[in-house]
Amino acid sequence: MKGYTGVHESGGVITERHPDLCTVRVRMPAGVVSAVQMRKLTKIAEKYGDGSLHLTTRQTLEIPHVDPAHLEKIAVQLSKNGTPLGAEREEVVNITACPGTERCKYANIETIELAKKIDERVFGRQTPIKMRISISACPYVCTGSLTSEIGVTGRIRPLRTPGLCTGCGSCVEYCREGAISIRDGISVLDAGRCAMCGVCVHSCPYGLLKSDYMHYQITVGGRRGRDPQNGIELINVESADAVVEIIDRIVYRVYRRAWSGRSLRDQMDEIGFAGFKEEIEREFSGDTVSDIQGQSHRRTQ
């Protein structure tokens, strides 16, 4: 698309293999779209593309095979539809999230509204590298939160109600980590093996396992592609508002400190991650923060 400027240079406009055509990516936090919006997107695809829509891996839609001459009209119609142009380049791209407590029986946290709040704060912000932010409501990490540049994972710590456990073994059966066993007729948790997924809490038929600590684990520096790696834990917080604020600061630090052409994971030392982690822990310490790895976990005994 040589010679074009303005909307044609947006991150949501992707040049195709055929240099005279482009794909238009839509901004759609958490992949949520109404039926009315979808019908409008279909009409846009029929009018300006080949009538097809592509569901992407980042929970958004693309309109393929578009003539760049129509991009300004498309951008206006997408904005009016509440599904504006998306992002793809060195910027914060579409925020992904699983269904969360709205629909998933394994979820520990609400995700959709959180994704929208994060989107409002940082979407499209220019950075030296592409920034993927993903939210998973539990440690099953269906949306790949741990392998995103910024990941948010909902976790809970189980606590057995003392003196009432029947030793039925339901929690043992459901725990995929092998972290629970029955000893002397009661359940015992091996905290070192516990993934804090909360499945045992949900599976207890008598409601004797409770959530002792529901929190958001924030990780930084995850990497996908040919050499995938999990991100490094930055902090655990109990407040969704704290999550949004911390992510804002992460994005700003990457913007100020990181270099282009390299993954965030390869620059963690250069951006001063260790010092940044200490700053965040100091500022967000107290009732909303807990260093889980340093605590002595309660056991179900």
Which pLDDT tens digit goes with each residue over 10-39? 889 999 999 999 999 999 999 999 999 999
108-153 confidence digits (pLDDT tens): 999 999 999 999 999 999 999 999 999 999 999 999 999 999 999 9
At residue 179, does pLDDT exceed 90? yes
Query: 96-294 architecture in CATH?
Result: 2-Layer Sandwich (3.30)
Question: What integer is the mean pLDDT of 206-224?
Answer: 92
Residue 292: its pLDDT value, please? 38
Least confident of 69-73, 124-128, 211-215, 287-291: 287-291
Residue 88 has pLDDT above 50, yes or no: yes
Pair 36, 22: CB distance under 8 Å: no
Model confidence pLDDT, tens digit, residues 44-55: 999 999 999 999
Is residue 287 over pLDDT 80?
A: no
End-to-end CA distance of the chain: 66
Does the pLDDT value for residue 250 go beyond 70?
Answer: yes
Q: Positive or negative, the Cα torsion across 250, 196, 93, 36?
A: negative
User: Is pLDDT of 297 > 80?
Assistant: no
Question: Is the pLDDT reported for residue 163 higher than 90?
Answer: no
- List, by residue range, all CATH 3.30.413.10 domains of the chain: 96-294
| pLDDT band at 286; cut points 50, 70, 90 | low
| Mean per-residue pLDDT of the chain | 91
CB under 8 Å to 43, separation ≥6 — which residues? none
If you average pLDDT over residues 242-251, what whole number do you get? Answer: 98
Count CA atoms closer than 13 A to 235's CA, side-chain side.
28
Residue with tokens 């929190």: 215
Can you tell me the mean pLDDT for 222-232? 93
- Over residues 244-256, mean pLDDT: 97
Per-residue pLDDT, 299: 29
Q: Specify the pLDDT at position 207.
A: 87
pTM of the model: 0.89
Residue 294, pLDDT > 50, answer: no
Q: Which fold has domain 6-80?
A: Alpha-Beta Plaits (3.30.70)
Residue whose tokens read 């045992």: 200
- Comparing CA positions, the residue from 161, 149, 237 lying closest to residue 200 is 161
- For 72-124, give the DSSP string: HHHHHHHHHTT--B---SSBB---EE--GGGT-TT--S--HHHHHHHHHHHTT
Instruction: Please determine, for residue 161, whether its predicted confidence score (pLDDT) is greater than 90.
Output: no
Residue ranges, comma separated, of all CATH 3.30.70.3340 domains in the chain are 6-80
Q: How many CB atoms lie within 10 A of CB 270?
A: 11
Neighbours of 163 (CB within 10 A): 7
Instruction: Please give the angle made by the CA atoms of 297, 243 and 101, to the nearest 5 degrees.
Output: 75
User: pLDDT higher for 298 or 227?
Assistant: 227
